[in-house]
Structure 1
Amino acid sequence: MTDIHPWQRGPRELLQFAITAYASPDEAGRRISFLLIDVCVETTLRTFLGLPVKISGSAKGYLDLKQYVNGKFHDLTKGIEAAAPGRISDNELHHLRFYHNVRNRLYHEGNGITIPEEHVRGYGTLAAKLLKELLEIDGHAMLPRAWKQADLTQVHSLDEMRRELERELDQFENAINAVMEKVAPKMVYPSTICRLKELADFSITTFGADLQSFRDLINKNLTDEKAREWLLNFLADDLSYDSPNVVSNSQLIMELAKNPTAFYSFLIGMQFIPLEEISMDTLDNWDDISFIQQDEYSILGIYESAKYLLEMLRDKRWLGMSETKLLERCKDLRDKLKTISPKVAGLHLPN
Protein backbone atom coordinates (compact mmCIF):
# COMPACT_ATOMS: atom_id res chain seq x y z
CA MET A 1 0.00 0.00 0.00
CA THR A 2 1.37 3.39 -0.99
CA ASP A 3 0.85 6.40 1.24
CA ILE A 4 -0.43 9.42 -0.66
CA HIS A 5 0.35 11.83 2.16
CA PRO A 6 3.23 11.78 4.68
CA TRP A 7 0.91 11.98 7.70
CA GLN A 8 -0.67 8.66 6.70
CA ARG A 9 2.53 6.64 6.94
CA GLY A 10 3.05 6.50 10.70
CA PRO A 11 -0.45 5.38 11.72
CA ARG A 12 -0.62 2.82 8.90
CA GLU A 13 2.77 1.33 9.81
CA LEU A 14 1.79 1.08 13.48
CA LEU A 15 -1.29 -0.98 12.60
CA GLN A 16 0.82 -3.20 10.34
CA PHE A 17 3.36 -3.74 13.14
CA ALA A 18 0.48 -4.67 15.48
CA ILE A 19 -0.88 -7.22 13.01
CA THR A 20 2.59 -8.74 12.60
CA ALA A 21 3.02 -9.01 16.38
CA TYR A 22 -0.37 -10.70 16.68
CA ALA A 23 0.85 -13.51 14.44
CA SER A 24 3.17 -14.61 17.26
CA PRO A 25 1.45 -17.63 18.88
CA ASP A 26 1.85 -16.56 22.51
CA GLU A 27 0.50 -14.17 25.14
CA ALA A 28 3.45 -11.79 24.73
CA GLY A 29 2.59 -11.32 21.07
CA ARG A 30 -1.00 -10.39 21.94
CA ARG A 31 0.16 -7.88 24.56
CA ILE A 32 2.60 -6.24 22.16
CA SER A 33 -0.03 -6.19 19.41
CA PHE A 34 -2.57 -4.58 21.74
CA LEU A 35 -0.10 -1.89 22.86
CA LEU A 36 0.86 -1.11 19.26
CA ILE A 37 -2.81 -0.76 18.31
CA ASP A 38 -3.24 1.69 21.20
CA VAL A 39 -0.29 3.75 19.92
CA CYS A 40 -1.80 3.60 16.41
CA VAL A 41 -5.15 4.88 17.69
CA GLU A 42 -3.63 7.72 19.72
CA THR A 43 -1.37 8.72 16.83
CA THR A 44 -4.35 8.69 14.45
CA LEU A 45 -6.40 10.93 16.73
CA ARG A 46 -3.55 13.41 17.28
CA THR A 47 -2.70 13.47 13.59
CA PHE A 48 -6.27 14.21 12.55
CA LEU A 49 -6.76 16.94 15.14
CA GLY A 50 -3.47 18.58 14.13
CA LEU A 51 -4.19 18.67 10.38
CA PRO A 52 -5.25 21.91 8.68
CA VAL A 53 -9.01 22.16 8.38
CA LYS A 54 -8.82 22.17 4.55
CA ILE A 55 -7.29 18.69 4.71
CA SER A 56 -9.19 17.13 7.60
CA GLY A 57 -12.60 18.60 6.81
CA SER A 58 -12.98 19.27 10.53
CA ALA A 59 -16.11 20.92 11.87
CA LYS A 60 -13.90 23.07 14.12
CA GLY A 61 -11.00 25.43 13.39
CA TYR A 62 -7.39 24.86 14.40
CA LEU A 63 -7.56 27.23 17.38
CA ASP A 64 -10.60 25.37 18.72
CA LEU A 65 -8.85 22.01 18.36
CA LYS A 66 -5.43 23.07 19.63
CA GLN A 67 -6.60 22.62 23.22
CA TYR A 68 -7.27 18.92 22.58
CA VAL A 69 -4.20 17.96 20.52
CA ASN A 70 -1.69 17.95 23.37
CA GLY A 71 -4.04 16.53 25.98
CA LYS A 72 -4.56 13.05 27.36
CA PHE A 73 -6.43 10.28 25.60
CA HIS A 74 -9.75 11.47 27.03
CA ASP A 75 -9.08 14.95 25.59
CA LEU A 76 -8.35 13.44 22.17
CA THR A 77 -11.68 11.64 22.10
CA LYS A 78 -13.43 14.86 23.16
CA GLY A 79 -11.67 16.58 20.28
CA ILE A 80 -12.94 13.97 17.84
CA GLU A 81 -16.48 14.47 19.15
CA ALA A 82 -16.14 18.17 18.38
CA ALA A 83 -14.22 17.94 15.11
CA ALA A 84 -15.74 14.90 13.41
CA PRO A 85 -19.38 14.55 14.46
CA GLY A 86 -20.99 11.60 12.71
CA ARG A 87 -17.75 10.01 11.54
CA ILE A 88 -17.06 8.13 14.77
CA SER A 89 -20.11 7.13 16.81
CA ASP A 90 -20.51 7.61 20.57
CA ASN A 91 -20.51 3.83 20.87
CA GLU A 92 -17.14 3.59 19.12
CA LEU A 93 -15.68 6.38 21.25
CA HIS A 94 -16.77 4.48 24.35
CA HIS A 95 -14.98 1.39 23.06
CA LEU A 96 -11.85 3.45 22.42
CA ARG A 97 -11.85 4.58 26.04
CA PHE A 98 -12.56 1.05 27.26
CA TYR A 99 -9.64 -0.44 25.33
CA HIS A 100 -7.35 2.41 26.37
CA ASN A 101 -8.26 1.73 30.00
CA VAL A 102 -7.25 -1.90 29.46
CA ARG A 103 -3.94 -0.59 28.12
CA ASN A 104 -3.50 1.50 31.28
CA ARG A 105 -4.02 -1.60 33.42
CA LEU A 106 -1.47 -3.45 31.31
CA TYR A 107 1.07 -0.67 31.92
CA HIS A 108 0.42 -0.54 35.66
CA GLU A 109 0.06 -4.26 36.37
CA GLY A 110 2.47 -5.60 33.75
CA ASN A 111 2.68 -9.26 32.86
CA GLY A 112 -0.09 -10.18 35.28
CA ILE A 113 -2.67 -8.95 32.78
CA THR A 114 -3.91 -11.31 30.07
CA ILE A 115 -5.21 -9.66 26.89
CA PRO A 116 -8.05 -11.71 25.39
CA GLU A 117 -7.84 -12.29 21.66
CA GLU A 118 -11.19 -10.58 21.12
CA HIS A 119 -9.78 -7.39 22.70
CA VAL A 120 -6.92 -7.38 20.21
CA ARG A 121 -9.25 -8.05 17.27
CA GLY A 122 -11.81 -5.54 18.51
CA TYR A 123 -9.29 -2.74 19.07
CA GLY A 124 -7.58 -3.53 15.75
CA THR A 125 -10.87 -3.41 13.85
CA LEU A 126 -11.72 -0.11 15.50
CA ALA A 127 -8.27 1.27 14.67
CA ALA A 128 -8.88 0.35 11.03
CA LYS A 129 -12.18 2.25 11.13
CA LEU A 130 -10.41 5.35 12.52
CA LEU A 131 -7.75 5.18 9.80
CA LYS A 132 -10.46 5.12 7.14
CA GLU A 133 -12.75 7.78 8.58
CA LEU A 134 -10.09 10.23 9.75
CA LEU A 135 -7.03 9.74 7.51
CA GLU A 136 -8.48 8.05 4.40
CA ILE A 137 -6.38 4.90 4.86
CA ASP A 138 -7.99 1.56 3.98
CA GLY A 139 -7.13 -0.10 7.27
CA HIS A 140 -9.79 -2.78 6.81
CA ALA A 141 -7.87 -4.21 3.85
CA MET A 142 -4.87 -4.70 6.14
CA LEU A 143 -6.70 -6.81 8.73
CA PRO A 144 -6.19 -10.59 8.88
CA ARG A 145 -9.10 -12.63 7.53
CA ALA A 146 -9.83 -14.05 10.99
CA TRP A 147 -10.49 -10.53 12.31
CA LYS A 148 -13.10 -9.90 9.63
CA GLN A 149 -15.04 -13.13 9.91
CA ALA A 150 -18.12 -13.23 12.10
CA ASP A 151 -19.13 -16.34 13.97
CA LEU A 152 -22.54 -17.27 12.56
CA THR A 153 -23.49 -19.61 15.41
CA GLN A 154 -25.66 -19.06 18.47
CA VAL A 155 -27.73 -16.26 16.92
CA HIS A 156 -30.88 -17.26 18.75
CA SER A 157 -29.05 -17.57 22.08
CA LEU A 158 -27.52 -14.13 21.64
CA ASP A 159 -30.88 -12.53 20.85
CA GLU A 160 -32.41 -14.10 23.94
CA MET A 161 -29.47 -12.99 26.06
CA ARG A 162 -29.85 -9.44 24.72
CA ARG A 163 -33.45 -9.41 25.89
CA GLU A 164 -32.41 -10.68 29.31
CA LEU A 165 -29.77 -7.97 29.53
CA GLU A 166 -32.41 -5.34 28.67
CA ARG A 167 -34.64 -6.61 31.50
CA GLU A 168 -31.79 -6.55 34.03
CA LEU A 169 -30.81 -3.03 32.96
CA ASP A 170 -34.39 -1.83 33.46
CA GLN A 171 -34.43 -3.30 36.97
CA PHE A 172 -31.08 -1.72 37.81
CA GLU A 173 -32.16 1.71 36.53
CA ASN A 174 -35.39 1.56 38.51
CA ALA A 175 -33.51 0.58 41.69
CA ILE A 176 -30.87 3.31 41.30
CA ASN A 177 -33.41 6.05 40.65
CA ALA A 178 -35.54 4.92 43.59
CA VAL A 179 -32.52 5.09 45.93
CA MET A 180 -31.48 8.51 44.66
CA GLU A 181 -35.02 9.78 45.15
CA LYS A 182 -34.82 8.68 48.77
CA VAL A 183 -31.26 9.92 49.44
CA ALA A 184 -31.54 13.25 47.62
CA PRO A 185 -35.00 13.81 46.12
CA LYS A 186 -34.09 17.15 44.55
CA MET A 187 -31.52 15.40 42.36
CA VAL A 188 -34.27 13.58 40.45
CA TYR A 189 -36.44 16.66 39.85
CA PRO A 190 -36.98 17.14 36.08
CA SER A 191 -35.50 20.65 36.32
CA THR A 192 -32.37 19.30 38.02
CA ILE A 193 -31.97 16.51 35.48
CA CYS A 194 -32.34 19.00 32.62
CA ARG A 195 -29.69 21.25 34.15
CA LEU A 196 -27.32 18.31 34.77
CA LYS A 197 -27.52 17.36 31.10
CA GLU A 198 -26.86 20.94 30.02
CA LEU A 199 -23.76 21.20 32.21
CA ALA A 200 -22.52 17.80 31.05
CA ASP A 201 -22.35 19.15 27.52
CA PHE A 202 -19.53 21.58 28.33
CA SER A 203 -16.75 22.66 25.98
CA ILE A 204 -13.18 23.48 26.90
CA THR A 205 -13.96 27.20 26.68
CA THR A 206 -17.06 26.96 28.92
CA PHE A 207 -15.72 24.36 31.33
CA GLY A 208 -14.66 26.79 34.07
CA ALA A 209 -18.07 28.45 34.30
CA ASP A 210 -19.93 25.16 33.86
CA LEU A 211 -17.87 23.54 36.62
CA GLN A 212 -18.83 26.29 39.04
CA SER A 213 -22.50 25.92 38.06
CA PHE A 214 -22.20 22.16 38.56
CA ARG A 215 -20.71 22.71 42.03
CA ASP A 216 -23.54 25.11 42.86
CA LEU A 217 -26.14 22.59 41.69
CA ILE A 218 -24.59 19.83 43.82
CA ASN A 219 -24.38 22.10 46.86
CA LYS A 220 -28.04 23.05 46.51
CA ASN A 221 -29.63 19.73 45.54
CA LEU A 222 -27.51 16.86 46.87
CA THR A 223 -29.00 16.83 50.36
CA ASP A 224 -27.07 13.77 51.59
CA GLU A 225 -24.36 15.56 53.59
CA LYS A 226 -21.65 12.93 53.28
CA ALA A 227 -22.06 12.56 49.52
CA ARG A 228 -22.28 16.33 49.01
CA GLU A 229 -19.14 17.16 50.98
CA TRP A 230 -17.17 14.33 49.41
CA LEU A 231 -18.12 15.28 45.87
CA LEU A 232 -17.44 18.99 46.35
CA ASN A 233 -14.02 18.18 47.81
CA PHE A 234 -13.32 15.78 44.95
CA LEU A 235 -14.20 18.21 42.16
CA ALA A 236 -11.79 20.87 40.97
CA ASP A 237 -12.44 24.34 42.36
CA ASP A 238 -9.41 26.32 41.14
CA LEU A 239 -8.39 25.52 37.56
CA SER A 240 -5.22 27.57 37.87
CA TYR A 241 -4.06 25.48 40.84
CA ASP A 242 -5.61 22.02 40.55
CA SER A 243 -3.57 19.25 38.91
CA PRO A 244 -4.45 18.00 35.40
CA ASN A 245 -5.82 14.77 36.87
CA VAL A 246 -8.14 16.65 39.24
CA VAL A 247 -9.45 18.65 36.28
CA SER A 248 -9.87 15.64 33.97
CA ASN A 249 -11.57 13.69 36.78
CA SER A 250 -14.00 16.56 37.24
CA GLN A 251 -14.75 16.53 33.53
CA LEU A 252 -15.38 12.79 33.65
CA ILE A 253 -17.82 13.14 36.57
CA MET A 254 -19.68 16.00 34.90
CA GLU A 255 -19.96 14.03 31.65
CA LEU A 256 -21.59 11.16 33.53
CA ALA A 257 -24.59 13.43 33.99
CA LYS A 258 -25.41 13.14 30.27
CA ASN A 259 -27.17 10.03 31.56
CA PRO A 260 -28.35 10.92 35.10
CA THR A 261 -28.69 7.23 36.01
CA ALA A 262 -24.95 6.81 35.37
CA PHE A 263 -24.21 9.80 37.60
CA TYR A 264 -26.46 8.43 40.34
CA SER A 265 -24.77 5.02 39.99
CA PHE A 266 -21.40 6.64 40.56
CA LEU A 267 -22.54 8.37 43.75
CA ILE A 268 -24.49 5.44 45.18
CA GLY A 269 -21.79 2.94 44.31
CA MET A 270 -18.98 4.96 45.86
CA GLN A 271 -20.98 5.56 49.05
CA PHE A 272 -22.97 2.39 49.63
CA ILE A 273 -21.89 -0.45 47.29
CA PRO A 274 -18.16 -0.25 46.58
CA LEU A 275 -16.45 -2.91 44.48
CA GLU A 276 -12.83 -3.98 44.89
CA GLU A 277 -12.57 -1.59 47.86
CA ILE A 278 -13.00 1.42 45.55
CA SER A 279 -15.10 3.84 47.59
CA MET A 280 -15.38 7.44 48.72
CA ASP A 281 -12.73 6.69 51.32
CA THR A 282 -10.18 5.23 48.88
CA LEU A 283 -10.71 7.12 45.61
CA ASP A 284 -8.12 9.89 45.18
CA ASN A 285 -8.87 12.83 42.92
CA TRP A 286 -5.16 13.27 42.20
CA ASP A 287 -5.12 9.92 40.40
CA ASP A 288 -6.66 9.08 37.03
CA ILE A 289 -10.07 7.63 37.96
CA SER A 290 -11.19 6.62 34.46
CA PHE A 291 -10.82 2.98 35.52
CA ILE A 292 -14.08 3.27 37.49
CA GLN A 293 -15.94 2.98 34.20
CA GLN A 294 -14.81 -0.65 33.95
CA ASP A 295 -17.18 -3.25 35.33
CA GLU A 296 -14.54 -4.76 37.64
CA TYR A 297 -14.35 -1.65 39.80
CA SER A 298 -17.78 -0.06 40.27
CA ILE A 299 -21.49 -0.49 39.78
CA LEU A 300 -21.20 2.49 37.42
CA GLY A 301 -18.81 0.40 35.33
CA ILE A 302 -21.22 -2.54 35.28
CA TYR A 303 -24.08 -0.27 34.23
CA GLU A 304 -22.17 1.59 31.50
CA SER A 305 -20.60 -1.60 30.15
CA ALA A 306 -24.03 -3.24 29.93
CA LYS A 307 -25.57 -0.17 28.28
CA TYR A 308 -22.92 0.06 25.60
CA LEU A 309 -22.87 -3.67 24.97
CA LEU A 310 -26.62 -3.51 24.44
CA GLU A 311 -26.21 -0.63 21.97
CA MET A 312 -23.51 -2.59 20.17
CA LEU A 313 -25.80 -5.61 19.86
CA ARG A 314 -28.71 -3.53 18.60
CA ASP A 315 -26.53 -1.88 15.95
CA LYS A 316 -24.73 -5.16 15.15
CA ARG A 317 -21.39 -3.34 15.37
CA TRP A 318 -19.31 -6.03 16.99
CA LEU A 319 -15.80 -4.73 16.26
CA GLY A 320 -14.15 -8.08 15.65
CA MET A 321 -15.76 -10.01 18.53
CA SER A 322 -17.30 -13.38 17.72
CA GLU A 323 -20.87 -14.09 18.72
CA THR A 324 -19.55 -16.69 21.13
CA LYS A 325 -17.51 -14.06 22.96
CA LEU A 326 -20.42 -11.62 22.85
CA LEU A 327 -22.66 -14.25 24.41
CA GLU A 328 -20.12 -14.81 27.19
CA ARG A 329 -19.87 -11.06 27.79
CA CYS A 330 -23.67 -10.71 27.86
CA LYS A 331 -23.97 -13.48 30.42
CA ASP A 332 -21.24 -11.93 32.56
CA LEU A 333 -22.85 -8.49 32.65
CA ARG A 334 -26.36 -9.92 33.09
CA ASP A 335 -25.18 -11.92 36.10
CA LYS A 336 -23.43 -8.89 37.58
CA LEU A 337 -26.60 -6.81 37.23
CA LYS A 338 -28.62 -9.63 38.81
CA THR A 339 -26.28 -9.53 41.79
CA ILE A 340 -26.09 -5.74 42.13
CA SER A 341 -29.73 -4.70 41.60
CA PRO A 342 -31.07 -6.47 44.74
CA LYS A 343 -28.27 -4.87 46.77
CA VAL A 344 -29.27 -1.44 45.50
CA ALA A 345 -32.98 -2.06 46.07
CA GLY A 346 -32.31 -3.49 49.52
CA LEU A 347 -30.32 -0.55 50.88
CA HIS A 348 -31.68 0.49 54.27
CA LEU A 349 -31.82 4.28 54.06
CA PRO A 350 -33.55 6.92 56.19
CA ASN A 351 -36.77 8.33 54.76
Structure 2
Amino acid sequence: MSLPGWVYGPFELLLHAELHYRAGGDFDRRIALISFDNSIEVAVMNYLSLDEIHRNGRKYKKEDRERWMDNYFSTKLDFIEYECSLRKIPMSADKPHMTWYHKVRNKQYHEGEAAIPTNDVLSGIRTAAIWVFGMLYEVSNVEEELSERIKNMTPTTDLPERDEESDKILDDKYGVIWFGRTSVYASDLIYSHDPNAYRDEALNLREEHQTETEDAQ
Protein backbone atom coordinates (compact mmCIF):
# COMPACT_ATOMS: atom_id res chain seq x y z
CA MET A 1 0.00 0.00 0.00
CA SER A 2 1.34 3.45 -0.93
CA LEU A 3 -0.17 5.24 2.09
CA PRO A 4 2.03 6.21 5.07
CA GLY A 5 1.88 4.12 8.23
CA TRP A 6 0.16 6.75 10.37
CA VAL A 7 -3.01 6.58 8.28
CA TYR A 8 -3.16 2.78 8.22
CA GLY A 9 -5.69 2.43 11.09
CA PRO A 10 -8.34 4.78 9.67
CA PHE A 11 -7.80 3.36 6.19
CA GLU A 12 -8.37 -0.21 7.39
CA LEU A 13 -11.72 0.77 8.92
CA LEU A 14 -12.67 2.47 5.66
CA LEU A 15 -11.57 -0.65 3.78
CA HIS A 16 -13.70 -2.85 6.02
CA ALA A 17 -16.75 -0.68 5.33
CA GLU A 18 -16.05 -0.78 1.61
CA LEU A 19 -15.87 -4.59 1.60
CA HIS A 20 -19.34 -4.81 3.14
CA TYR A 21 -20.65 -2.09 0.83
CA ARG A 22 -19.50 -4.07 -2.20
CA ALA A 23 -20.90 -7.34 -0.82
CA GLY A 24 -24.33 -5.75 -0.95
CA GLY A 25 -26.35 -8.13 1.26
CA ASP A 26 -28.90 -6.77 3.74
CA PHE A 27 -26.66 -7.49 6.73
CA ASP A 28 -23.63 -6.13 4.85
CA ARG A 29 -25.46 -2.88 4.15
CA ARG A 30 -26.16 -2.38 7.85
CA ILE A 31 -22.54 -3.07 8.78
CA ALA A 32 -21.30 -0.82 5.96
CA LEU A 33 -23.40 2.08 7.29
CA ILE A 34 -22.09 1.62 10.82
CA SER A 35 -18.48 1.21 9.66
CA PHE A 36 -18.45 4.20 7.28
CA ASP A 37 -19.87 6.35 10.06
CA ASN A 38 -17.30 5.02 12.54
CA SER A 39 -14.52 5.68 10.04
CA ILE A 40 -15.33 9.41 10.09
CA GLU A 41 -14.90 9.55 13.86
CA VAL A 42 -11.74 7.44 13.80
CA ALA A 43 -10.23 9.53 10.99
CA VAL A 44 -10.69 12.68 13.08
CA MET A 45 -9.50 11.12 16.35
CA ASN A 46 -6.42 9.62 14.73
CA TYR A 47 -5.57 12.87 12.94
CA LEU A 48 -5.77 14.94 16.13
CA SER A 49 -3.60 12.36 17.94
CA LEU A 50 -0.75 12.60 15.42
CA ASP A 51 2.47 14.50 15.97
CA GLU A 52 2.67 17.84 14.17
CA ILE A 53 5.18 16.45 11.70
CA HIS A 54 2.52 14.02 10.47
CA ARG A 55 -0.02 16.85 10.11
CA ASN A 56 2.26 18.99 7.92
CA GLY A 57 3.05 21.17 10.92
CA ARG A 58 -0.54 22.07 11.76
CA LYS A 59 -1.02 23.02 15.41
CA TYR A 60 -4.15 23.16 17.55
CA LYS A 61 -4.79 24.52 21.02
CA LYS A 62 -5.00 21.82 23.70
CA GLU A 63 -8.47 22.86 24.80
CA ASP A 64 -9.71 22.76 21.20
CA ARG A 65 -8.30 19.28 20.62
CA GLU A 66 -9.88 18.01 23.85
CA ARG A 67 -13.26 19.44 22.81
CA TRP A 68 -13.07 17.96 19.31
CA MET A 69 -12.01 14.57 20.68
CA ASP A 70 -14.81 14.16 23.21
CA ASN A 71 -17.55 11.53 22.83
CA TYR A 72 -19.92 13.57 20.68
CA PHE A 73 -20.09 13.08 16.92
CA SER A 74 -21.08 16.73 16.49
CA THR A 75 -17.69 17.91 17.77
CA LYS A 76 -15.95 15.81 15.11
CA LEU A 77 -18.04 17.64 12.51
CA ASP A 78 -17.10 20.96 14.14
CA PHE A 79 -13.44 20.06 13.64
CA ILE A 80 -14.00 19.03 10.01
CA GLU A 81 -15.70 22.37 9.37
CA TYR A 82 -12.88 24.24 11.13
CA GLU A 83 -10.21 22.33 9.21
CA CYS A 84 -11.83 23.14 5.87
CA SER A 85 -11.96 26.84 6.75
CA LEU A 86 -8.31 26.67 7.86
CA ARG A 87 -7.25 25.10 4.56
CA LYS A 88 -9.64 27.32 2.61
CA ILE A 89 -11.36 24.39 0.89
CA PRO A 90 -15.10 23.65 0.52
CA MET A 91 -16.85 20.94 2.50
CA SER A 92 -17.74 18.22 0.00
CA ALA A 93 -20.02 16.62 2.60
CA ASP A 94 -22.06 19.05 4.68
CA LYS A 95 -22.81 18.85 8.39
CA PRO A 96 -26.60 18.43 8.07
CA HIS A 97 -26.25 15.35 5.88
CA MET A 98 -23.48 13.77 7.98
CA THR A 99 -25.55 14.42 11.10
CA TRP A 100 -28.51 12.69 9.46
CA TYR A 101 -26.43 9.66 8.42
CA HIS A 102 -25.14 9.40 11.99
CA LYS A 103 -28.72 9.46 13.32
CA VAL A 104 -29.68 6.64 10.95
CA ARG A 105 -26.56 4.74 12.06
CA ASN A 106 -27.54 5.13 15.71
CA LYS A 107 -30.94 3.59 14.97
CA GLN A 108 -29.16 0.59 13.47
CA TYR A 109 -26.49 0.27 16.14
CA HIS A 110 -28.14 1.35 19.39
CA GLU A 111 -31.86 0.87 18.79
CA GLY A 112 -31.78 -2.34 16.75
CA GLU A 113 -33.56 -0.78 13.77
CA ALA A 114 -34.54 -3.61 11.43
CA ALA A 115 -34.81 -1.50 8.26
CA ILE A 116 -32.11 -1.83 5.61
CA PRO A 117 -30.26 1.46 4.86
CA THR A 118 -31.49 3.08 1.67
CA ASN A 119 -29.20 3.53 -1.32
CA ASP A 120 -29.20 7.30 -0.77
CA VAL A 121 -28.08 6.96 2.85
CA LEU A 122 -25.47 4.33 2.12
CA SER A 123 -23.95 6.06 -0.90
CA GLY A 124 -24.08 9.38 0.96
CA ILE A 125 -22.23 8.15 4.05
CA ARG A 126 -19.71 6.34 1.84
CA THR A 127 -18.98 9.52 -0.12
CA ALA A 128 -18.66 11.50 3.12
CA ALA A 129 -16.34 8.97 4.77
CA ILE A 130 -14.06 8.76 1.72
CA TRP A 131 -13.96 12.55 1.44
CA VAL A 132 -13.17 13.08 5.15
CA PHE A 133 -10.30 10.58 5.03
CA GLY A 134 -8.91 12.03 1.81
CA MET A 135 -9.22 15.62 3.01
CA LEU A 136 -7.59 15.10 6.40
CA TYR A 137 -4.70 12.96 5.20
CA GLU A 138 -4.37 14.70 1.82
CA VAL A 139 -4.95 11.55 -0.20
CA SER A 140 -6.44 12.39 -3.58
CA ASN A 141 -7.09 8.85 -4.82
CA VAL A 142 -8.83 7.14 -1.89
CA GLU A 143 -11.15 5.06 -4.06
CA GLU A 144 -8.20 3.85 -6.13
CA GLU A 145 -6.33 2.89 -2.95
CA LEU A 146 -9.38 0.94 -1.75
CA SER A 147 -9.79 -0.87 -5.05
CA GLU A 148 -6.09 -1.73 -5.24
CA ARG A 149 -6.06 -3.04 -1.67
CA ILE A 150 -9.16 -5.17 -2.28
CA LYS A 151 -7.71 -6.53 -5.53
CA ASN A 152 -4.54 -7.61 -3.74
CA MET A 153 -6.27 -9.21 -0.77
CA THR A 154 -6.19 -12.98 -0.38
CA PRO A 155 -8.16 -14.87 2.30
CA THR A 156 -5.14 -16.78 3.53
CA THR A 157 -2.88 -13.78 4.07
CA ASP A 158 -5.22 -10.90 4.91
CA LEU A 159 -8.19 -12.22 6.85
CA PRO A 160 -8.27 -14.74 9.70
CA GLU A 161 -10.41 -17.75 8.84
CA ARG A 162 -13.40 -18.82 10.92
CA ASP A 163 -13.36 -22.07 12.85
CA GLU A 164 -15.93 -23.98 14.88
CA GLU A 165 -14.04 -23.71 18.16
CA SER A 166 -13.85 -19.90 17.94
CA ASP A 167 -17.52 -19.70 16.94
CA LYS A 168 -18.51 -21.78 19.96
CA ILE A 169 -16.44 -19.86 22.51
CA LEU A 170 -17.75 -16.51 21.24
CA ASP A 171 -21.38 -17.66 21.09
CA ASP A 172 -21.15 -19.22 24.56
CA LYS A 173 -19.87 -15.90 25.89
CA TYR A 174 -22.07 -13.40 24.02
CA GLY A 175 -25.03 -15.44 22.75
CA VAL A 176 -27.40 -13.96 20.16
CA ILE A 177 -27.47 -10.29 19.10
CA TRP A 178 -30.80 -8.76 18.06
CA PHE A 179 -31.35 -6.13 15.33
CA GLY A 180 -35.03 -5.28 15.69
CA ARG A 181 -36.75 -8.57 14.84
CA THR A 182 -33.60 -10.00 13.27
CA SER A 183 -31.15 -12.05 15.32
CA VAL A 184 -27.59 -13.13 14.55
CA TYR A 185 -25.06 -15.18 16.47
CA ALA A 186 -22.33 -13.13 18.09
CA SER A 187 -19.67 -15.00 16.13
CA ASP A 188 -21.38 -14.05 12.84
CA LEU A 189 -21.63 -10.39 13.85
CA ILE A 190 -18.05 -10.10 15.13
CA TYR A 191 -16.53 -11.82 12.12
CA SER A 192 -18.62 -9.76 9.69
CA HIS A 193 -17.70 -6.52 11.47
CA ASP A 194 -13.98 -7.24 12.01
CA PRO A 195 -12.31 -10.63 11.33
CA ASN A 196 -9.23 -9.59 13.31
CA ALA A 197 -11.38 -8.77 16.34
CA TYR A 198 -13.03 -12.20 15.93
CA ARG A 199 -9.65 -13.91 16.10
CA ASP A 200 -8.31 -11.76 18.96
CA GLU A 201 -11.43 -12.01 21.15
CA ALA A 202 -11.62 -15.79 20.69
CA LEU A 203 -7.96 -16.03 21.67
CA ASN A 204 -8.51 -13.86 24.75
CA LEU A 205 -11.47 -15.99 25.85
CA ARG A 206 -9.42 -19.17 25.42
CA GLU A 207 -6.64 -17.70 27.57
CA GLU A 208 -9.14 -16.61 30.24
CA HIS A 209 -10.67 -20.09 30.31
CA GLN A 210 -7.24 -21.70 30.59
CA THR A 211 -6.24 -19.38 33.45
CA GLU A 212 -9.49 -20.09 35.33
CA THR A 213 -8.97 -23.82 34.89
CA GLU A 214 -5.40 -23.63 36.17
CA ASP A 215 -6.45 -21.54 39.19
CA ALA A 216 -9.18 -24.06 40.04
CA GLN A 217 -6.72 -26.97 40.13
Give the TM-score normalised by the residue count of structure 1: 0.37
Match of 1:110 in 2: 112
* CA distance in structure 1 between the partners assigned to 2:92 and 2:24 by the alignment: 34
Which runs of 4 or more aligned residues in structure 1 lie more than 6 Å from their structure 2 counterparts after TM superposition? none
Cα-to-partner distance string for 1:236-269 (whole Å, 9 max, x where unaligned): xxxxxxxxxxxxxxxxxxxxxxxxxxxxxxxxxx
1:30–1:117 Cα contact (<8 Å) kept: no
Match of 2:70 in 1: 70
Counterpart of 1:70 in 2: which secondary structure?
Answer: coil
Gaps of 5+ in 2: 148-217
Alpha-carbon shift at residue 33 of structure 1 (Å): 0.9
Match of 1:79 in 2: 79
Alpha-carbon shift at residue 51 of structure 1 (Å): 2.6
1:141 to 140, 144, 166: 144
Cα–Cα, structure 1 residues 53 and 25, in superposed 2: closer, same or farther, change >3 Å? closer
Alpha-carbon shift at residue 134 of structure 1 (Å): 0.1
* CA distance in structure 2 between the partners assigned to 1:142 and 1:125 by the alignment: 15
2:34–2:109 Cα contact (<8 Å) kept: no
Identical amino acids, percent of aligned pairs = 25
* CA distance in structure 1 between the partners assigned to 2:142 and 2:78 by the alignment: 23
Gaps of 5+ in 1: 145-351
Aligned residues, how many? 143
Q: Highest CA radius of gyration, 1 or 2?
A: 1
Alignment partner of 1:42 is 2:38: no
Give the TM-score normalised by the residue count of structure 2: 0.57
Alpha-carbon shift at residue 37 of structure 1 (Å): 0.7
Counterpart of 2:111 in 1: which secondary structure?
Answer: helix
1:114 alignment partner AA: I
1:115 alignment partner AA: P
* CA distance in structure 1 between the partners assigned to 2:32 and 2:38 by the alignment: 10
Alignment partner of 1:22 is 2:24: no
Taking only aligned residues, the RMSD between alpha carbons, in angstroms, comes to 2.5
Question: 1:253-332 to 2 correspondence within 5 Å?
Answer: none
* CA distance in structure 2 between the partners assigned to 1:106 and 1:12 by the alignment: 23
Cα–Cα, structure 1 residues 122 and 96, in superposed 2: closer, same or farther, change >3 Å? same
Structure of higher RCO (CA pairs closer than 8 Å, 6+ residues apart): 2
